[in-house]
Structure formats: structure tokens, C-alpha cells
Structure 1
Amino acid sequence: MPGCILRAEQRPGRLNKKRTYAVLSKSVCDWQKTVLLARQPQALYSFINGKAGYTKDIQNFDTRRPSMSYERFLSPGKIGSLTLKNRSIFPPMGTHFVADGFVTGQMIAYQARRAAGGCAMNIVEIASVHRTSSAKLILGIDDDKFVPGLAKLAAAIKAGGAKACIQLWHGGRQHPGAEFGGQCWGPSAVPCPMIQEVPHVMTLGEIREIIDAYGEAARRAKEAGFDAVEIHGAHGYLIDCFLNAYSNTRTDEYGGDLERRARFGREVIRAVRAAVGADFPVLMRMSARENYPGGITLEEGIKAARLYEAEGIDALDISQGCYGAMPYTVPPYYLPERVNVYNASQIKMNVQIPVIVAGKIYTPDIAEEILQNGEADFISLGRILLTDPDFVRKTQEDRPEEIRHCVACNSGCVERMFAGKVTSCVFNPLTGYETEIEIKPAPEKKRVLVIGGGPGGLEAARVAAERGHAVTLFEQTGDLGGQYIIAGRSPHKVMMENAARHLGYLAMRAGVNVRLYTKATPERIQALQPDAVIVATGSEPLIPSVEGVRGSNVYEARKVINGNVRIREHQVAVIGGGLVGLEAAEFLVEQGKRVCIIERLDQVGKDLEMYIRPHMMQLLEVNKIDVHVRSKCVAIGTDSVTVEKDGRRESIAAEAVVIAAGAKSDPGNVAAMAARLVPQCQVIGDAKTPGNVIDAIWQGNEAARSL
């Protein structure tokens, strides 16, 4: 690996021997070896005392951890008659890489890339078994016309070294009828709380029709060359909808007690088995529990697992939740690591077939521990393989410290999909764009300066260095990661702080010359004589012009969350109900403060992803946080704030005020200065327009690729 450099510089003409300088020391590398990835490091940098202009270069060191055996994770395993080369599975996740139900080249490239990264089996996303769950952006397997495309997909996965499986699916009441020009189907006329469409109650003949459709779909999957099929019986979809008492109120043989409610799923298994034969592996995805009032409990989940096993299922793929408890289906950052492992372990104790588990398993150490403890037999690596498709390969090559971090933000993957875009990843802009984006060696090597060490700047610096450019990065503070470090200081979000620091590590590993405590000045820029500069200086808080805003009892939200200031007052008003304001409120209520939020819009949290919103709304309710919407703060006093709402003014008690009113770009107008000095100048992220981390990282990646 090339030597990495961390260099700290003082402002010219100033001398302070007590100033702390940052260097990447060998001791940090040793510490990093054991905790960087699996132990959630709190810092990558060692700080030492020195004199003005002190520089220390560390050359040609090895940052790998001492060799750790992932014996169980990397060992072969069997599902029915199928032998998998290791214990990793890429699970079925929606992508929108579909055209009128047909496989696209984009989907083939996306799946092949995960297979090439060392995964043992890819389970392709939901494939509709019947016209009543079809849609333009959902893979079709309900007609023979789809088989040729599916065959190309299966072949590409297998060419990459993985086994190919596909998930057979019917959405039931959770699939809007408008998608196929009809009315959603379900066991009973009980609408999904999210879709809010009363289902058509399936007749016995229609139940038989759907069961047969599963069998025909399985036949097509086998004909297309897939090595296995998985039946989707989880997350409130049709099979799970029959299983749950709250959505199945039938009184015939498909309703009543658990065994009768499980009859539909069991008959689907029989139809699939009859279509593919005894030796063809058939898996079942199931929710161990619903986490929804009246939904199945873990005890009922265990009973259902036994019933499925008795019908001949070869493996159980354990998840939880439904549309009524959406966050559990794709667990976001505030849910714990290994969120499904306990459920999986309890089911494993009650069946003889292999158990697969998914849900916030982001390191090979955690995967190995789960397997060694006997809590599961296979590990489903979902979002982490969007972030880093080489997870398994890096584990095999004893390079786990290089695995990029997933933070369970859901914004680059599922949120993009629900917004009508294709799935991707905040930290990996290449995900989903494998046919369009490639990091290639630069045809002309340049001297590149990146100003700003936040996520966007670090991504730009890393990619530019990996392309062969000589890259220097100026960061005027003593830390790398920018606002994402601050975001990681909020409750439940330490993963984000770790990920931000890891971006710094990857940049330095790529050979970037990082200079901390280094403000961009004309003299420093000219001294480097860069051919190109990328400005990633971020933003600074927007402070509204209201009376009293400069008072001693007024604080800025970023500083509060970051721990730079300590609010001693008890009653606190937060001005601004966006994500930052809500996080500041959460931070303060954990300190025992009495908090209210003042928001100009008609609701708080308009910028929240759908998986994060339930957590934040529950936070407001549980902590009895008063929310004043359509309210504009017009004055701040020593013990109250004055707000204007519907043309009237009122006073709200507040001993302290926290400002979370937005941001403004490029503090210090660095971009204008850099553009005057360097002809090739690009501005990215918040320095260009205040946005979110995906904008910054993707723009940084694109800027580096354009050099």
C-alpha cells in the first residue's frame, strides 16, 4: 500500500507550541487492525504535541488487522441438495431494474456484480406469479414470455460464481390494484393500513388459481436455469396475509386457528414442490413476528415454521414486520444490530432445516459470531452488498478493514425506489449503474487539490487518487468527516460517525495527502500549483434575522448535537422542525430537558425518509414534545419566544433557544477564490447547494471521475 500522509499546518506567522497536530501513526494502525470495522472505532487519528510546521510522514505501513479466521462464515453449507461455497446470501431486494416485467441489462449487471464479489447465492428480487400482483417495475414470472430474460439473468449470476435463486411473490392486499388495473386481492376485506385499499375477497376458486400460479412460476424458474426458488411468505404479502389473524377473518378452511390460516402457504409449498421435483431446493421467507397489533407472535411464528418444514421446505429465511410495521422490514439505524437474530435462533431451535437470517449484519465478525453461536446457518447480506459488493471477497482476503460501511439510512436504496427511482447507495454511486459508471485510470495524471474533508470531499479525493492523480486535501479542522461526524453524535447514529471516519481512512489508504488544521488560502493553493481543485467546504448554519437571536441563551443546533456547548437551562425551544431540529430535540430530551419545536411549515419532519419518520414521530409523542406548526419565530427573549401564527402573535415559554433553521453554502467564499487561481475548479455538495449526504458523495465521485 502507498504511504499515507497526514500533515498539520499552522497559519503563517503564528506560533503555538501547545497546538495539537494530527498524524496517522503506526499505533493507530495497530489499534485499527482490531476495531476499525467490527468494533465501531471512535477515531482514526492520533494527536501529538509538536511545534509550528511540524510534519510527520508514515511510509509503507501495513494497515491490515492481524489475521482472523472466519472459518464458519467462509465454509461451505447445504440447502437441500444444493451446496453453497460459503455462508453468504444476497437477499431479494426491490430495484426497479425492470421494464414491463422483463429483465433488463441493468439488472443483470447489478446481480452479476454481487456474485463476482464472492457471494454464495443471489436470491433475485420479487417476481410476480399472477396478473393480480403484476406491475411495470416488478419482475414477471407469470408467463412463459419472461423465461428468456430470466435465463440470461440466472446465467450471469452463475457465471459470477454464485448460485441463482429467485423469489416467488404475490403482494396480496399490499399491492395496489391500480398497478394492474384491478382491485387488490386478499383473504378478507381488511385493508392494509398503508395502501388503504379494501381487497377483493378471494373465492375458493381464486385461491386455487393463485396456488397453481405459484407452481407454474416455479416451473419457469427451473426452466430458466435457476438453482433454487424462494417463496415470499413474509412482510404482510399474500401468504403472510393469510397467516395473520388481523388480516384473515375467514371462517372457511383457510381461516380460523393458526393451522388453518397457514393452509394457503402450505398448499403453495406443495404446488411448488410438485412443479420442481423432490431434489430442487425450495426456501421460504417468513416473518417470525409482525410487530403489529393482532399480528403473529414469535410463538406463532415458530409453529408456522414447523408447518412449513413439514411440507418439505429446505430452508427458512427469517425476517419480521409488514407494511403496518414497515421499519422492521428494512431496519433503519435506530433499530439494533442483529435485529432478527434472536427470532432466527428461536426458530432454529425448533426445526431441523437450515435457517437464514438478515437484518443489520454489517461485518464479517458479527456474521461469524452468529454462525459460531449456532443462531443461524446462513447470513443474508443485503444493504451492505449495495455499499460494498466485495464484502465476501475482502473477508476471504483478510481485508475486512477495507469494507465500506453501511449506516442503515435507507435513503440510497429503498427510499429512492419508493420515490420512483432505481435503487442505489449513498456510499456507492456505482450501485445500480454498473453499465454506466466505471472508475478508470486517468489518461493524464494531474495535481489535484480537494478543499474540505467532509463526505463529499473525501469521496472526491479517494476516487481521484485511485485513478492515479496526486491528491492533496485541505481540512481546516482537526478531524475528517464533516457534518456526518456531527450527525453521528445524535442518539442511535454512531454508525454514521464511524462511516464518516472510515471515508477518511479509505482516502488516506488510497494515498491522499491529508493536511489537517489547514485553511485554504491563496498562498497555500498557489504553492501547490494544482491542475484542478474540488471545493467541498460544506455549509454553515443559517441564522435568521430575528430580535434577540444573538442572545447568550441562543445556541446553534450543530454545536448542541456535537457537544461543543452545554445548555444549562431546562425549558428549550428548537426553531426548525427538519431533521436537524428533531435530532437536536431528541438529544435534549435525553438530557432531561423540556422541549418544544417551532416550525414554519404545516408539519415537522417533511425531509424525513419514510422509515425514519415513525421513530421521530414516536419520539415527539413519548416525550410529550410540544410542536407548533405554521409558526414563525419573530423574537427571542430571556424566558420566552414570540411566534406569529395565522396573523396572530403569541408567547411561548423558553429559557433557551436552539436554532435549526437551515444552512447556507460555502462559508468564506472559498469557491470564488479557488476559481480565480485554478482554471479547472468544481464545487460540490453543500458548498454548491445545501442538500444531503448522498448529494455530496455522488457529486464528489462524479467530479473525480471527470478529471
Structure 2
Amino acid sequence: MNYPRLFEEGRIGKLTLKNRLVMPGMGTNLVGPDGEVTDHQIAYYEERAKGGTGLIIVEFTTIDNELGKGLLNQLRIDEDRFIPGIQRLANAVKKYGAKIFVQIHHAGRQSNSGLIGGKQIVAPSPVTCKAVGEEPRELTTVEVKELVNKFIMGAVRCKTAGVDGVEVHGAHGYLINQFLSPNSNRRNDEYGGSFENRMRFLKEIVLGIKEKCGQDFPVTVRLSVDEFEDGGIDIEQSKEMSRYLEEIGVDAIHASAGTYHSMDKIIESPMFEQGWRVYLAEEMKTVVDIPVITVGVIRDPAFAEKILADGRADFIAMGRSHIADPEWAKKAIEGREQEIRKCINCLHCIKTVMNLSHLQCSVNVRAGRELEFTEFRQTEEKRHVTIVGGGPGGMETARVLSLKGYDVTIFEKDSKLGGQLNLVTAPVSKEKMNWMIDYHSNEMKRLNVDVRLNTVATIDEVKALNPYAVFLATGAKPIVPDLAGNDLANVWDYEDVYLKRKEFVGQKVIVVGSGMVCYSVTSQLAKAGNDVTLIDVPTETGSKVTAPTKAMLYKRMKNAGVEIVTDKNVAEVRPNSVVVEDELGISSELAVDHVVFAMGTESYNPLEASYREHFDNVFVIGDAINPGSITNAIRDGFEKAYVIEDLVVKKVAASIGV
């Protein structure tokens, strides 16, 4: 068997799991408007169960909809009427041999008044979470005891619905975490002060669930082993908590990290290395005998197997990995590792949920849309499709068309596939982009796509293939703003740096722009020994960088000696200087040897007009029509390839006036 530790049976309490793979709870916004289970949600979880995962932990589910919501569309288990929906979800998951837990939750001070009908949020103490910015009301002792009962009754309803166990959400700065942490618990009653008192709320919940649901009903606790906050919970305190939880009957510890004050430690950007959080689980394993679940940027089967083989954890939780590829487990156990579509930590899934959309994924268009894309309709006759451009959008188009039975040829003028993904140079981020390039490149080989590198797609060459349709995925080019001096010999763009068209060593360089590519270019130039100033100006790509990630990048750049300017715009480039203006229009001059613009991209679509003169069905996709993100390129390619027959019929109908 491939990966013997990963795919051996495991136990949580007296419950046997078929393997050591766990899908942890993650909000999806697939919930109905009243917090009920929906068909879309069932299809989403069912596909992950079908893919071979041993345990699925359903997303955080509120036990108190009145004051405890953490998301506008959040699953509920606070009333009996929600039992049938949870039961349908449990049945869908369990028929594939997977087990299912529900994560029971209360947001506490990490809710907000907008989520709970304008009421004041509640917490153990009136200590404001700076990330929320609302002062909470301190819960009375009576209210605390009522909440204990609400957690217990939530678990009882889960058991009634046929759920195999519950995970008590004691992490990420939510209510239980607030009781545990000395930073947020300043109470003077039996639920605050000493270690035992701060543990009392969680203890009463666990003991109550065990009493009502039976000692054999599994209860796990998710902990932020390190809050990454001054004065907050750290590893040593978590060791004491884990020992205590084992003594009172908790069946497993799920070792996570962070609060809303340290959000980048909960949901990591591309800059975090694979498995960086495993050490937290490893530390807990030194003090408890119950299983410990680890989590955090685990993407590769061999990496996961080694964690278990080295005794660093007992179970592997992979959240976004299951969003990106619901068949992760099936592919790993069958030795099809190259076919695994790995999560690249782009945070798109998180942004969509936080922006009140349903969950979406940059690399897996079907995530959250399983009922929309149920099968790949096969072409009725053998047809050929030509794709110009071998970036992520072009390759995704080729993948879907091949699955539908089309013969596909890709023309790529460069010597390798991947397009703009090849320009990422920061080692940790580059690893993730390489995962994506490797996945799609392997799919091109597996699906027998005719890939022609170093080849320009001339009209004659494409005509020779007699294509049913042509997709133009020619990508984008760097933006150079329209300002005086933008054509001088000392003006460059980020591709010039990445592709080493110009060597920059010991030079005074100003970089203009924002976003991940811009910050990467800036760091690269600084590390090469240049005197670098970043003029950070708003760009579309810059708006996609989260505040915690931007703060981390700023820190790294400053440590590398970069001067960062955030209150000026570039007005003109001169041979030896840059003219900048502040918000009041007051200008000044900065001496410089070279200027590098890294302001994102604009569409590069030079072929459409001529191709439409020679071919009936021409479709422009990805950056060539909507530049700026991997997400758009892959979604556009997937969707147009999925419905290509309908698009062609629509064009024919339009041409004859129907």
C-alpha cells in the first residue's frame, strides 16, 4: 500500500476511522438563509467523502444564533428543526465509509452587531477584539451556564441526527478560546482568574456532552495552541490545558493556532512553508496519550506520511487541500500523486466567503458548484480544438476539453508551460506556483494534449488542424503607466527583472506598484545589493493582498533595507530622477539609476481580429480578456470549455438571425 501510516485505521475514542485523513471545519456560505443545510452543501461534503477522506468535520455550526454567529450564513444546530438537515448531510457522507463530526461554535466577541441584529456582542469580559472593533458586554454567570447547556444540546441534536461525534471549537479566538485566554478573560467569578476557573466553561461543556450523549460519543477539542499574542495562550499553557482535557474525557486534541489578531496564522498566505504548524501538535503529543490532529499547509502525501511516521501527530487535517481536490485521498492511495491538484494558499476561498459569496476555489472551479457541473458531456463526434497560450487558463481549457473527448492542441511561444506563473521567484511562493504548473503539465501528458512549445500559432498552422473552435489564451503584459519619461532607457518592468533582461547590482532603484509580484521584485532587487525604494501605489493586484500578509511583506522588505514610500505618486520619470507628488500636489525629486514598474498587468490580445476573419468559433479567455488573477483565467477556461457546444450553437444561431 502507498503511504501505510496515512491509510491505516485510526481511533478517536472508540470510533474507528478508515484512515488518518481529516477534513477540518471551514465556513462555506453554502448554508441556507436561515442556517439550514442545503443541497449544494450536501453535494460539497459528499464529494469529499466520496474522495476517500476518513473523517469530515462539518464547518462551524452555531449553538446560539441570537448572539453567537460568526458568519452571516452559518449552519445552525440551536433548535430541533435543524436536525433533519444535519441528518441528510450525515447520511450522504457516511455511505462512503467516512465518519462525520460537527464543529459546535459560538463566536463571542469575534461576532459583530451586524451579524446579530444590532445587539451588542458578548464575551467573558468587556475586552474589545481590535480586529472587530466593538466592545463586548460581559456575560453574566447565569448566561454562561445557559451557554454551557446550549453547547450540550447542540451536541445532543448532532447525535440524534446520526453524526458520529462533535468537535468543540475552542480555538481561533472564539468564545471558548476567550474563556481560556488570560488576554480576554478578566472575570472574577467561578469562570475566571485561576487556570481551573478559566477551564471551567469548556470542562462543563465536555462533561455535559459526555453525560447526555454517552461516554462513547467522541468529543474532540480544537485549540489555538499558540495565540501568537503577547500575554496570550502559548505552548506551555496549551500543554497544561491538553493534559487537563484528557483527564476529563476529551477524545482528541486538534492543534491549531491564532486568533483574529493573528489571522495570518489561522489561514496562511503563500509565504508559509508546508507543515509549518506541525510542531504545535508535536508538542502536545509529548504530554497526552489521546490522539493529536495536526493541520496547516499540508499538501503532499509523502510529507503527510512522514509526519505520522515520525510520530509528530496521529491524524492529518487538510482544509484547503480538500477544497482544491476532493479526491486527494483516492489519488494518493492509488499512486496518482501527480494528479493531485494542490492548494496554492492564494486565499481566494477565504475572500469569497468573507465577501458573502459562496465558497470558491482558484484551482478547482467545481468547489461549491458541484450541482452545477455534474458531468463532462462527451462530444458526439471527434473534433479538434486549438488553444493559443499555455498558461493556467489555456491548460485548464485543454484539460476540460480533453475530458469531454476533444482532440486538443496548445501552441505556446515560450519554451515551457505556465505563463505568468513562471515569473514568481520567492522560494516558498514559487514552490506553490510550481505545484500548479506541474499539475497542469502532467494533465496535458495524461490526457494526450498536443503541446507545441516554442511555436507561434500562425493562421496557416491552425488552419491545417481544421479546428472546431479556437481559444485565445495569450495572457497579459505588464502595465507601464502613461506618464512622461515612461520610454526612457532606465525604465523597466517586472518581467525585465524576473527574466534578467537587465542585471541590477549596486544600483539605486525605485520600484513603483503594489501586490505580491511587486513586493517579490522589490525584495529580489534588495537582496542583489541594490539601494531600493518602493513607492507603494494602489493597484488592482495590490488590493488582493490581505492586511496581515502586507504587514509581513513590509517587515521583510524593511529588514532587507528597502525604503517604503506610501504617500506619494509618480508624476514623471527623468534620466536620473523620479518626480513624485504628495496628496497636496507638492512635488519633489528622488535620485535614481533605474525605475521598475510592477503595477500589475493588462490584456494582451493581438490575435483576435485576424483569427475572427479565418475561423468561425473564436473565444478569448483568461488574462487576454480579464487580466489580473489566476482565478479568472482558470474559471474562464473551465466554464467556456464545459459549455463549448452551447457557445458554438449560440454563435451559429446568431449568425443566421435566430
Q: Is the 8 A contact 2:626 2:632 kept in 1?
A: no
1:329-348 → structure 2 map (5 Å cutoff)? 329-348=266-285
Equivalent residue in structure 1 for 2:56, among 99, 117, 122: 122
TM-score by length of 2: 0.93
Question: What is the one-letter code of the residue matched to 1:70?
Answer: Y
Per mean C-alpha deviation after superposition, the further-off stretch among 584-593 and 627-636 is 627-636
Q: CA deviation at 1:211?
A: 0.4
Name the counterpart of 2:25: 92
SS in 2 for 1:589: helix
- Secondary structure class of the residue paired with 2:226: coil
Alpha-carbon shift at residue 588 of structure 1 (Å): 2.0
What is the distance in 1 between the residues matched to 2:500 and 2:356? 38
1:657 corresponds in structure 2 to 595
> Which amino acid counterpart does residue 104 of structure 2 have in structure 1?
L
Distance in 1 between residues matched to 2:608 and 2:96, nearest whole Å: 44
Distance 1:400 1:694 in 2: 23
Does structure 1 conserve the Cα–Cα contact (< 8 Å) formed by 2:57 and 2:103? Answer: yes
Q: How many residues align?
A: 638
1:432 to 360, 368, 375: 368
Paired residue type of 1:552: A
Contact kept, 8 Å, 2:539 with 2:600, in 1: the verdict is no
Q: What's the CA shift for 1:226?
A: 0.2
- For 2:228, the equivalent position in structure 1 comes to 291
Distance (Å, rounded) in 1 between the aligned partners of 2:623 and 2:179: 48
Equivalent in 495, 500, 514 of residue 437 of structure 2: 500
Q: 1:475-508: per-residue Cα shift (whole Å, max 9, x none)?
A: 0010100001113556643211332232122122
Give the counterpart letter for 1:128 in structure 2.
T
What is the SS of the residue equivalent to 2:543? coil
Query: Following the alignment from structure 2 to structure 1, what is the Cα–Cα distance between the partners of residues 599 and 288?
Result: 54
Which of 496, 521, 535 pairs up with 2:472? 535
Q: Which residue of 2 aligns with 1:132?
A: 67
Please, which of 242, 248, 258 is the counterpart of residue 185 of structure 2? 248
CA distance in 2, matches of 1:107, 1:145: 17
Name the structure 1 match of 2:255: 318
How far apart are the structure 1 equivalents of 2:578 and 2:276?
A: 42
Match of 2:654 in 1: none
2:77 corresponds in structure 1 to 141
Question: Conserved in 2, the CA contact under 8 Å of 1:601 and 1:630?
Answer: no
- Contact 2:59–2:103 at 8 Å: present in 1 too? yes
Structure 1 residue 325, shift from structure 2 partner: 0.2
Matched residue SS, 1:102: coil
Give SS of 1:69's match. coil
Partner of 1:464: 401
Residues 9-38 of structure 1 deviation map (CA, whole Å, 9 limit, x = unaligned) = xxxxxxxxxxxxxxxxxxxxxxxxxxxxxx
Listed as ranges, the matches of 1:195-206 within 5 Å are 195-206=132-143
1:564 shift after superposition = 4.3
* SS of equivalent residue, structure 1 residue 231: strand
1:455 and 1:689 mapped to 2: Cα distance? 14
- Secondary structure of the 1:103 match is coil
What do you get for the CA RMSD once the two structures are aligned? 1.9
- Listed one character per residue, the Cα deviations across residues 217-246 of structure 1 (whole Å, up to 9, x for unaligned) are 010000000011110000111111111111
User: How many Å apart are 1:600 and its aligned residue?
Assistant: 4.5
- 620, 624, 648: which one aligns with 2:586: 648
Q: Distance in 2 between matches of 1:473 and 1:164?
A: 43
For 2:601 and 2:234, how far apart are their aligned partners in 1?
45
Residues 480 and 501, structure 1, Cα contact 8 Å, conserved in 2: no
Contact 1:488 / 1:498 at 8 angstroms: preserved in 2?
Answer: no
2:164 to 227, 230, 241: 227
Q: Which residue of 2 aligns with 1:632?
A: 569
Contact 1:332–1:611 (8 Å) recurs in 2: no
Q: Distance in 1 between matches of 2:40 and 2:109?
A: 29
Tell me which residue corresponds to 2:301.
Answer: 364
* Secondary structure, counterpart of 1:207 in structure 2: helix
What is the CA distance between 1:369 and its match in structure 2?
A: 0.3
Quote the Cα distance in structure 2 between the aligned partners of 1:157 and 1:108: 8
Given the superposition, is the C-alpha separation of residues 195 and 580 from structure 1 closer, same or farther in structure 2, using an over 3 Å criterion?
A: same
Which of 610, 615, 625 does residue 552 from structure 2 map onto? 615
After superposition, residues 63-102 of structure 1 pair within 5 angstroms as 69-99=2-32, 100-102=34-36
Amino acid in the other structure paired with 1:184: I
Distance 2:537 2:294 in 1: 44
For residue 136 of structure 1, report the CA deviation from its aligned partner. 4.5
User: What are the Cα deviations for residues 417-464 of structure 1, in whole angstroms up to 9, with x where unaligned?
Assistant: 111111121111001100111333223432100000000000001111
Q: How does 1:544-693 map to 2 (within 5 A)?
A: 544-601=481-538, 605-610=542-547, 612-623=549-560, 625-629=562-566, 631-645=568-582, 646-667=584-605, 669-693=606-630
**Structure 1 residues 315-324 or 557-566, which shifts more?**
557-566
| SS of equivalent to 2:579 | strand
Instruction: Write the distance in 2 (CA, Å) between the matches of 1:612 and 1:443.
Output: 48
SS of equivalent residue, structure 1 residue 606: helix
- SS of the aligned residue for 1:520 comes to coil
**Identity in percent:** 36
- Unaligned 5+ runs, structure 2: 645-658
| Structure 2 letter corresponding to 1:619 | R
User: Residue 648 of structure 2 aligns with which residue?
Assistant: none
1:263: which partner in 2?
A: 200
Which residue of the partner structure matches residue 43 of structure 2?
Answer: 109
> How many Å apart are 1:695 and its aligned residue?
0.1
Q: CA deviation at 1:616?
A: 2.5
Instruction: Write out aligned runs for 1:447-458 (5 A).
Output: 447-458=384-395
Q: 1:292 to 1:702 in 2, by over 3 A?
A: same
- Equivalent residue for 1:212? 149
Counterpart pick for 2:109 among 161, 168, 173: 173
Give 1:10's aligned residue: none
Q: CA deviation at 1:675?
A: 1.9
Counterpart-to-counterpart distance in 1, 2:530 and 2:205:
54
AA in 2 matched with 1:397:
E
Query: Quick one: which amino acid aligns to residue 588 of structure 2?
Result: E
| Distance in 1 between residues matched to 2:85 and 2:347, nearest whole Å | 29
- CA deviation map 1:35-84 (0-9, x unaligned): xxxxxxxxxxxxxxxxxxxxxxxxxxxxxxxxx73111110011111000
Cα distance in 2, alignment partners of residues 651 and 342 from structure 1: 49
Residues 578-587 or 83-92, more deviating? 578-587
What amino acid maps onto 1:179 in structure 2? L
1:257 positional shift: 3.1
Amino acid at match of 2:594: A
Please tell me whether the aligned partners of residues 486 and 497 of structure 1 are also in contact (alpha carbons under 8 angstroms): no
Deviation at residue 623 of structure 1 after TM alignment = 4.5
**Residue of structure 1 in register with 2:91 after alignment:** 155
CA distance in 2, matches of 1:599, 1:119: 44
Q: State the SS of the aligned residue for 2:397.
A: helix
Single out whichever of 675-684 and 615-624 deviates more from structure 2: 615-624
